[in-house]
Each structure stands twice: as C-alpha cells, then as structure tokens.
Structure 1
Amino acid sequence: MTLRMSRRGAFKLTALTMTGVLLSGCGLSSGGSVPLAVASGTIQRVPELEGVTITVGSKAFTEQLVLGYIAEFALSAAGANVRDLSSIVGSSTARHALKSDQIDILWDYTGTSWISYNGNTDPIPNAQAQFEAVRKLDLERNGIAWTAIDYHVDNTYAFAVNQDAARRLGVQKLSDIPRIVAEHPEDASFCVDTEFANRNDGLPGVEKEYGFTADKSKVKTLTEGSIYQATASGTCTFGEVFTTDGRIQALNLKLLADDHQFFPRYNIGITTRAELLKRYPQITSVFEPVSAKLTNEELVKLNAQVDVDGRDPADVARDWMVRQGLVKLPGGQAAR
C-alpha cells in the first residue's frame, strides 16, 4: 500500500535481508522508540514485564502499521520497554526478522504462514482448524508460537473490479474470469503487487484453481496502494485487494466472490519465538483484550483513516485503543 511520510517520519522503510543482519546490534536492542506515550487502561501494568525490552515489528502496509502500533502501545501500557521496528518490506523478511531475534513480536496471518512460510498448497477452509494446524506446524518446525488469535478478523486476498466493469462484463465471482479471458481478452487485465504475482496463494494459484492463464503483457505489477486507484479508474479490470482495506468502500469497488474458496483464511494473531513466550507467558494476557475488540469492521475503519483520510497510523492506533478503554492518554487528554 502507498505509504505517506508522517510528520514524525514514522514510516521507516527498513530493508532487511534474508541472509544478513543489517541492524545495529541484535535481538532485543534493535529498533527505535515508540512514537507516542500511553498510560494503562484496562491493560494494566504487568510486574513480570516491567522494564523488559521487547521489539515490535510490522510489515510495510497500512493494516500492519496500525496493528504494529497497537501492539507497541499495549506492551507499553503493560510496563515493557518497547522498541519500534515497523515497516519491514516483505512478509518473508519480517518473518526472518522474528526468527533471527531482530524483532520479538509480529502480528501475522494464518494463511500466510500456512502457504508462504511453510510451503503448503491446500488451504484449510475452517478458521479454527487452519489456526490449529499453523500453530502446531510453526511450533514444531520453526520454534514460532502463535497467541491471542483473532477469529473476528480475516483479511484475506480478493479481486475487485469497478462498478462499470461489473455491469459491462457481468462479473460477480472469480469463476467469471476465465470467460472474460476467453471472450474479452482486451478486458482481461490484472493489477497485482510483486509478492502476490509470485505467491502460491496469489495469482499463480488463482490461475490454476480457476482454469485460466493471464496474458503476461496485461498483468501490471504495481505497489499495493496504487492498485486500488488503478482498478477504480479502469487502468486494470481486476485488482488484487485486501478485504479489510477501507479504500474498497471509499472507491466503490466490487469484491468478486471466491466461489471455489481458494484463498486461505487469514486470521490475525500475535507471533513470537516460543522461548520468549515461555519466558514471558504474560504476553498472551496483554494481547487477549486487544483481540477481543478487533473485528473486520473495526479494521476497515482504522485502515480507511490512514489510506482515505491521510491520518498517521500511530495516531489512529492510539486513539482507537483509548476509545476502547485499553489504554489512556497521559494527562487525561481526549482521543480524536
């Protein structure tokens, strides 16, 4: 998604590599300070976490930035010494940062772990069964623990079209795409980001599942944020989107039904190294009240405040937590 530079420069485009450590220092000492202060609300201070340095990472798109700051404020309210390492470019890079002790906390998605990190090709449609399978596999194979899973949020992939294309081409669902490719090749254009273009649960998998082959000359690779406007303006017919993105509603895009249920469930949860969670099991209790408040509808609103209204994701995250009573503002300030 397109990232705006905030007034605090919070959007650090951190380029980690899969094979090297580019951060100064290592482990819990990496990262910058949390951008905003909070006081305890319903998330109370936890004696076992007082003064413990924990580095929170996030991937480099809006929802992840908002979630990352929510995690930082939650841990700060609990008394931890939180370090900010947000906006890591690429899912695999963020995961590597977690495994290699460069970050300690990362909100992640069950479908991403199942397909992209662990190499499975068949998703598990049931959300709880998908989570249990991911939790077991990640723990045994990678030493990664999942906690505070949220079944209320499923930010899965989807394709969207603008309303004109929906009416003109009669597309309602993904199984309509082969007809468009065959009968209207001039309209069979796709806008996707680089990661989706190559993921097993991205365009290659959609082509295989739904039985079509996109003309590569009509597949445009754009930044995630550019795809929404390109789809709305008709630059491409089919745009890859996230179902919790606020720009879908703002731009009046139509989501196409995944009638074969190809895309995995992408429920969010806190991931950390198993040894760290064993040392500090209180991390789970810090995030459980956050997960209880998050829903798809809430995330759509939060994402829209950043991508549509132009607000800073740290402000959006903190104000939401204050409204939910999870944290308070220092000095009794009011949230916007």
Structure 2
Amino acid sequence: MTAIREAFGTLDDGSAIEAVTLSNRGGITARILTLGATLQSLHVPDREGLSADIVLGHDSAAEYLTANCFFGATIGRFANRIAGGSFRIDGRDYRIPPNDGPNALHSGAGGFHTRIWSIEHIETGPPARAIFRYHSPDGEQGFPGNLTVAASYTLDDDDRLTLEYTAVSDAPTIVSITHHSYFNLAGAASEHGALDARLTLYADSFTPIDRMMIPTGAIQAVEGTPFDFRAPIAIGARVRNGDDEQIRLARGYDHNMVLNGESGTLRPAARMDDPRSGRIVAISTTAPGMQFYSGNSLDGNVRGKQGKFYRQGDGVAFEPQHFPDSPNQPAFPGARLDPGETYRNVICFAFSSNCG
C-alpha cells in the first residue's frame, strides 16, 4: 500500500494545491486534494480487472471553483439546504449567504469545498491513510464558533475507502459534514451514464420537499412511490416519472432518505451495481439520513475530466448527513454541536465486482 504526496497545480490567485494518492493491493487508487478535501479521482477495477476512474470531477484545481458542482468535495459546515439561509441558536438568529434562491445550499458559496485544507498526516499502512484539517473561524459564512475539522481518508486491503469527519467547536453551533462524489460505476469517461446501475437503498421512508426544495417536515413511507429502492431496481426506471409530484419538483431524485437503524452506528445505507462493468459499491454510514441525488443539474455545460461535458444522469451522489434544514425543523434529528462535544460522521465505500 502507498500514500504519495504531490503537487496538483495552482489556483488563479497563485495558491498551491497538493494531492495525496492512496493505493492498495487490489488496484484501487484514490486521489484527494487539499482544495476542499476533495476526492478528485477513484480508480476501481471491473470484473475483468480493468481499472477506470468512477467519480466525476476536473483535471485542474481551478475548475473546481468555477464550475461549482461540488464534485467529490467535503461539504460543510452544514450540508444541504437551510431555508431562508437562517437559523436560531439559544434565541439568537444567524444568517448564511443565500446561494440557492432564498436558501443556503451547502453553506453558501464559500463553504468547505472552496477552502484549502492542510495535510496533517499521511501513512502507507496498511491501511493507507491521509488526514486533512481545516480551521473555520467564528463567523465564517455566518456560522457561530471557531470550528476545527478533520477529514480522514483510509483505504484498506479489503477494498474499502472509509471517510471520517470530526469537528469540535468553542461555542454552540450547527454541524453536518458530508461527502459529495458523483459516481458512475461504468466509468466517469464512459459513454454510458449512471442511471442503468441497479440501486438498493436501506430506507423505509424519506422526507418530501416543497417547491423551494425544503423538506415539508413530513416523513413519508417509500412504499408505493418512486423512492422505494428496498429491492434492487435501475436508477433510471422511475427517475422521469412525471406522475409523481416529488419527482417533478426535483426534476428527478434530490431527496433525503431516512436511513434504517440507529443513528450514530455504522450501518448499510445503499448498494449500487453496474451490469456492464460488474463493479459494485456498498455504502454504510453513521449519519441519520442520506441525500440521494441523480445529477439533475448536470446539463452538458460543465466540462469535466478528459474534456467530457457532463449531462444529467452521468453521475449520482449519495450524501450521508443530517436531514436538510434540520436546524429549523424541531421534529428532525438535531444538528447542534456544543463545546466539549465531538461531531462525527463515518462513511464507508466498499468495492467489489460480480461475474456478470
């Protein structure tokens, strides 16, 4: 196993970006950038042993800031949407700069995905590991408290890539950190999109949204809806079901799935397999929910790796996190972090392949 540190170019302001590439005996390699603690590439073998990069992204560091698609990024301080860009803690109102109509999405335009993280530690293992750190000062993007965040990427010889996010604060605040890779198990450069993959979601319910993409506060059973992935089915089978209001509102899937089992424990969240390549990814997490996103905003105008323009459905994202807008929704699991506490979110991607 190896962990190699190297330069990855510069931003327009001259800031240097580095990368750490982890590799294991099974032929998996993962490259993580200091910009946004971003997973820039993830090469995984198929059933024939042929390797391909299975995550969408860019070839240069600067493109990650101009495209603003969150490819592979660490998202924080608060992932997903906050209604009106505002929330209250202990009777005091806080406001995050809106960047999604009236709402704040992924903490606004200056979230963790735009920040340069430091490399705190790398090791060849086994397992191979890289730990990135960022200090978010009190008031950054409108959030209270000095927040110290660590993002750990670990690749082991069981073909598991495990991400662990931790954070501590010196004042009451809200925290929900997640990972935002868009996956295409057929290969990010493939002519085939991600919607042919078969998906299982370990969620009996989801949180429906309103016209502004904010949860209504209800928790709805998936049974009898296009959100029922409890048994494997192709992602594209119902993604354009115009008879379903929730699909119409999001122009596909862009919803929080309420994961089965106890929050805080590592448990299954999703399993996706690609019939062409045979690649399989099983996702587990400690988070209470997971945003399932079918890449609806990819419209062919975003230039990605190897000059490919990404279209709707070219990649799908699985974002384990607190429920969207949970600071404003008392019935949802709380996202408050107080001094003396440690926020923690573990996300594990386990890769394998089938025989066809």
Q: Could you state the TM-score of these two structures normalised by the residue count of structure 1? A: 0.28
Q: Which has the higher contact order (CA 8 A, sep 6+)?
A: 1
Instruction: Flag the structure with higher strand content.
Output: 2
Larger Rg: 1 or 2? 1
Q: Could you state the TM-score of these two structures normalised by the residue count of structure 2? A: 0.27
Instruction: Flag the structure with higher helix content.
Output: 1
